[in-house]
Chain A
């Protein structure tokens, strides 16, 4: 079946602009996660959604970052007033359910470059 998809695959923007990154999880997966992969920081958790529950936003680095998940499916990560340190690969993952044993399936990522 189809895996996790993300768009765009690459995004180049100017400092100060807003960007939106999209994630389509695997159909039927109730849990959705965003991570960031950068050279300096490795892989970092950003935010987690599970069904209609309040998201876990504990990993968001600043209030310039926000995310939503509409209809329990597609998710959008928004970065406002982008900074050069936001340059990274943004990864989305989904899992069938929430829980410590669940396997997360990752999308190919969106590579963001802030000039």
Chain B
């Protein structure tokens, strides 16, 4: 069945460091891919998405490119801030469009 694998955390960085969180998927066809973020004490919110191969999603300085050759959707940011500390979830939509399938989540902690 469809699945998402993302790197284990926690990831601990200093402010202004470069961030990569790896995400790979297994799915039938080419599903839409998403990154959701959960800030401390808040609900899940969409960070970015890509709906077809080679698309790049971007938001708030974060980027991820849909790579069908490597079935990956890695999240990157060039210079992280303390306010980026959160849990990041990679997800895909099943083919029927009825459910999001999430990775386990990666906790990011940024210190000043």
A-side residues, CB < 8 A to B, are 33, 35, 42-43, 45, 48, 50, 56, 58-59, 91, 93, 98-109
| Contact-residue size bin, chain B (C-beta under 8 Å from the other chain) | 20 to 34
* Minimum CB distance partner of A46 in chain B: B99
- Neighbouring B residues of A99 by C-beta, 8 Å: 97
Q: How far is the CA of A21 from the CA of B74 in the complex (A)?
A: 35
Count contacts between A and B, CB distance < 8 Å: 57
B105 contacts A91, C-beta separation under 8 Å: no
Could you give 8 example pairs across A and B, Cβ below 8 Å?
Answer: A33-B98, A33-B99, A42-B105, A43-B100, A43-B105, A93-B100, A102-B97, A104-B100
B45 contacts A106, C-beta separation under 8 Å: yes
- Neighbouring A residues of B105 by C-beta, 8 Å: 42-43
Q: Which one of B11-19, B65-73, B78-86, B88-96 is at the A interface?
A: B88-96
- Neighbouring A residues of B104 by C-beta, 8 Å: 42
A48 contacts B43, C-beta separation under 8 Å: no
- Neighbouring A residues of B95 by C-beta, 8 Å: 100
A100 contacts B32, C-beta separation under 8 Å: yes
* Minimum CB distance partner of B100 in chain A: A104
Known: A42-B105, A43-B89, A103-B49. Is A91-B43 also a contact (CB below 8 A)? Answer: yes
